[in-house]
Every structure is written in structure tokens, then in C-alpha cells.
Amino acid sequence: MASKTTTILLGIALVATAACSKKRPEVLPPPPGEAPAAPIGNDGMGDGTVRPGSAEDFKRSVTSDTVNFGLDMYDIDGTARGILDTQADWLQRYPNVRITIEGHCDERGTREYNLALGDRRANSAKNYLVSRGIAASRITTISYGKERPAALGSDEGSYAQNRRAVTVVIG
């Protein structure tokens, strides 16, 4: 009788534990970099000029908002340093601007592996900017793993474009 009760309790515990597992959301939220078109006066001055310190100013002033990485890598190479140096210079001119660095991966690998790798890529870029004098409190990071590819396709060219960290000005 005790064995049967124990078996039933273990079965109930197993079912309860399985019911609590986290499920993937059906629809992902829109990426932070894809905001609706800004009204005149937000980034634009109404006469075709760009407001200094705005997201549009950032994109026009830096070499790129994107740093690319090699396969399964998250180290900052010479090309990435050059891009991040221009971002650091811009961020030093506008000390009240906050940014988010998004980490991305190509489609190969598991979801969990790619989320972790995207996180390492975003934090690698963040740590470089912090080493250049940008306050860590101004920088947030997020990993999208393989969920938001920049290029669709299953070839090396597409993979290379998707292995990246993207800097997004949030205000």
C-alpha cells in the first residue's frame, strides 16, 4: 500500500513539474531597432537636418552600428575595434544617450547555445566600449540568438552577416 501511494505521489509531482516548464512565446516582440517612423521634430529638425545626439545622427556619424564575428567567436578583432572606437567617440560627445547592444547568431546550433553566444557577443562589445570610457550604466545588452537574422539563407554569406552585435540608440 505504501509503495502504491509513493508511486502515485511521484507521478503527481512529475506531472506538476512538467506543467510548470517555460514555453516559448507564440509571437516574438518586434526588435528594438525597428521603431515606427519618427515624426518630424524627434530626430529631424523639419528642414532635412538631423538632431545632434539622435539615433539618426549616430547612424550617420559612426563607421557602422554593427560589429561582425567569426564562427563561434565573440572576440573583438581589429575591424570591430575600429567600428567600436567611432561609436565610443560619438557616445563621449553625447553623455546622456543610452544604448542597447543586441547579440545575434547564425541559424546553426541550438537555440540555447545561440542565445548564450549572442549574449557573449553583446557583452564583448559592451566591455570594449566601457574600456574606452563609456559608463556601463548607459549600456544594456540583449541576446536574440538566431531569432532575428539580418540575412535569410543557409549559405556562408548569410551566416557571416548574422553573426553580429548591433548598437541601437535608445535615448
166 contact partners, CB below 8 Å, separation of at least 6: 33, 65, 66, 101, 102, 104
| pLDDT of 134 strictly over 80 | yes
- Sign of the Cα torsion 106, 110, 111, 116 reads negative
Torsion angle, alpha carbons of 170, 72, 113, 163, to 10: 40
Alpha-carbon span 107 to 122, nearest angstrom: 17
Query: Given pLDDT bands bounded at 50, 70 and 90, which one contains residue 16?
Result: low
Residue 39 has a pLDDT of 45
Digit-coded pLDDT (tens) for 18-57: 555 555 556 666 666 554 444 444 455 556 788 999 999 9
Q: What is the mean pLDDT of the chain?
A: 86
- Grid coordinates belonging to 69: 564575428
- The helix (H) or strand (E) run that includes residue 6 is helix 2-19
All structural domains of the chain, each given as residue ranges with its CATH number in brackets, are 41-169 (3.30.1330.60)
Q: What is the pLDDT of residues 99-111, one digit of tens each?
A: 999 999 999 999 9
- pLDDT (mean) for 73-79: 97
What integer pLDDT is reported at residue 3 of this predicted model? 73
Distance CA 121, CA 145 (A): 10
Q: Is 133 left (phi over 0), alpha (psi -120 to 50) or beta?
A: left
